Amino acid sequence: MFRLMLAALACALVLKAAALPAAAMGEVEKARELAEALCAGCHLNEGQGEKQGPMGIPGFGAVANRHGQTQEGIVIWLNSAPPMMPDHKLTQDEMFALAAYIMSLRERP
Ligand code: HEC
C-alpha cells in the first residue's frame, strides 16, 4: 500500500515537471522566492483556501485551482494594479514568473 502511494506520488511529480518546459522550472523557483518575500503574508498561509467573504483573501492554491484559471488571467490581474493589493512595482517578467509559479500549484488537470 505504502509503495503504491509512493509510486503514485512519483508519477504525479513527474507529470507536474513535464508540464513545464525545463527553462521555466528555474523561473518558477525564483518566482516562488519572490512570492514568499512579497505575497506570502496575504496569500501563502497554512490551510488558506478560497477567499471568505467580500474582504477575504484567497490562497494561491485556491487561485490556481479556479475553474478556467490561466497564467494569462493572473498576469492580467497583476497588470490591473488591484487596489486591494500593495503595489509591488512588479516588472512584466516578474508578473509572468509569479503567474507561472501560482499555476504550478494547480491540482486540477
Ligand atoms: C496586503 C495583502 C496582499 C498582498 C501582500 C498581496 N495580495 Fe494578492 N490579493 C489580496 C486581496 C485582498 C485579494 C482579493 C481580491 C478580491 O478578490 O477581492 C488578492 C487577490 C489576488 C489574486 C487573485 C485575483 C483573483 O482572480 O481573484 C492574485 C493572483 C494575487 N492576489 C496575486 C498576488 C501576488 C502575486 C502578490 C505578491 C507579489 C500579492 N497578490 C500580494 C491581497 C494581497
CATH of the domain at 53: 1.10.760
Residue 5, domain member (yes or no): no
d(CA 55, CA 19): 34
Sole residue written with cell 512570492: 35
Query: Which residue's alpha carbon is nearest to atom 27 within ligand 1?
Result: 63
Task: Give pTM, 2 decimals.
Answer: 0.82
Residue 30, domain member (yes or no): yes
52 CA distance to ligand 1 middle (Å): 13
Classify the phi-psi angles of 81: left when phi > 0, otherwise alpha if psi is within -120 to 50, otherwise beta.
Answer: left
With bands split at pLDDT 50, 70 and 90, how would you rate the model's confidence at 109?
Answer: confident
Query: Which residue's alpha carbon is nearest to atom 7 within ligand 1?
Result: 85
The total number of structural domains that make up the chain: 1
57 CA distance to ligand 1 middle (Å): 7
Domain containing residue 67 = 22-103
Residue 28, domain member (yes or no): yes
Question: What angle separates helix 71-79 from helix 92-103, to the nearest 10 degrees?
Answer: 140
Q: What's the pLDDT score for residue 19?
A: 58
With bands split at pLDDT 50, 70 and 90, how would you rate the model's confidence at 54?
Answer: confident
